[in-house]
Amino acid sequence: MINQLNSWNNTPTKDSILKFVSLVADESSPHYVSPEDRVATFDNDGTLWCEKPAYIQLLFAIERLRQIADQEPKLKEDTAYEAAFKGDLGYFANLYPGDIPTLMKLVNDSHAGMSQSEFEELAYDFLTNHLHPRYGIPFKYCVYQPMVELLEFLRANGFKIFITSAGGMSFVRTISEEIYKLPRENVIGTNISFEYHRTKEGPILLRKPGLIEPIDDGPGKPVNIELHIGRKPIFASGNANGDLEMMEYTAHENTKRSSPYLNLLIRHDDNEREYAYDNGAEKIQETAREQSWTIVSMKNDFSKIFD
């Protein structure tokens, strides 16, 4: 087994990852897991890429709301549109973590009515050409290099990797193959419904307002894992309370089968290179300590954050 985790410091956290992968991928191991069952699920925002000063897709939606308010000034009387027009991130921040459904509906409805192709073009353009306000690099490059290496390391050892994001599935799919080397179909996320339309140019799919339940957060994550994958993860990684049920599910399903598993919790504690915050992760951090899950300190375990 080749150690490809070059951006990880040599700490007990790295050792636990290496030992777990060796345990399940070595055919001579009593805890060997066949490749078809070597499933790993990863949250995206705050786990694979930066989620501060706000969710990247939220910044994308705010730009769209501002454009709409410019075209229809009366909408500026609406609280959300007014906040978007004024660049008031505080209004949107107050919706997390207390009202994720309202936040995600607002984010997804901002692009309702347009074709799926148009949405994907806008999303890719935003991720490629808009810069992070602190780092000055395109948003799609605000990925954590150690986590990208971890994805590659697991893939090289026969794991099937899936993203399970509370963010929009279509939004993440636009760049999943480019930055994570993950097929679009391996991205699970909060989803919307579409409507088939015939036009002079040919058939198109239009994005409809509203969300398909359950949204891919909290208890919705295990449900969507079953719907989209149909197998139980043996490796799960997240960073916030919305990932707790996914990690509880992973622990329970493997414990009852006496199968090995690894829950990897990312803790943001490096204000110098990234951001330091525990807000929205208090419950999962407490559970991780109680259950002896592996907690990653970005400050101590990552030798670098971005590439």
Q: Give, for 206, the enclosing helix (H) or strand (E).
A: strand 202-207
Residue 258 burial (C-beta neighbours within 10 Å; 0-12, 13-18, 19+): exposed
Are 30 and 149 found together in one domain?
yes
pTM for the model stands at 0.94
78 φ/ψ sector (left φ>0, alpha ψ -120 to 50, else beta)? beta
Last residue of a domain, one of 129, 151, 173: 129
pLDDT band at 106 (very low <50, low <70, confident <90, very high): confident
Are 159 and 43 found together in one domain?
yes
pLDDT band at 158 (very low <50, low <70, confident <90, very high): very high
Higher pLDDT, 307 or 269: 269
pLDDT for 74 equals 74
Last residue of a domain, one of 83, 101, 129: 129
pLDDT band at 88 (very low <50, low <70, confident <90, very high): confident
Q: Is the pLDDT of residue 99 over 80?
A: no
Are 284 and 155 found together in one domain?
yes
Largest CA distance in the chain: 68
pLDDT for 2 equals 64
Least confident of 26-35, 84-93, 181-190: 84-93
pLDDT band at 1 (very low <50, low <70, confident <90, very high): low
Q: Is the pLDDT of residue 93 over 80?
A: no
Overall average pLDDT of the 169-191 stretch? 97
Total domains in the fold of the chain? 2
Please, what is the end-to-end C-alpha distance for the chain in angstroms? Answer: 24
Range of the domain at 290: 12-53+143-301
Are 73 and 190 found together in one domain?
no
Q: Which residue has the tokens 């410019």?
A: 70
Q: Is the pLDDT of residue 190 over 80?
A: yes
pLDDT for 239 equals 98
Residue 92 lies in a domain: yes
Residue 4 lies in a domain: no
Are 110 and 190 found together in one domain?
no
CA angle 22, 43, 284 (to 5 degrees): 90
pLDDT for 101 equals 78
CA angle 259, 239, 258 (to 5 degrees): 10
Higher pLDDT, 172 or 91: 172
Are 103 and 240 found together in one domain?
no
Cα distance between residue 170 and residue 43, in whole Å = 15
Are 165 and 226 found together in one domain?
yes
Name the average pLDDT for the chain.
Answer: 93
Are 43 and 89 found together in one domain?
no
Last residue of a domain, one of 73, 97, 129: 129
Q: Is the pLDDT of residue 80 over 90?
A: no
pLDDT for 202 equals 94
Task: Quickly count: other Cβ atoms within 10 Å of residue 3's Cβ.
Answer: 13
pLDDT for 6 equals 96
Q: Give, for 128, the enclosing helix (H) or strand (E).
A: helix 116-129
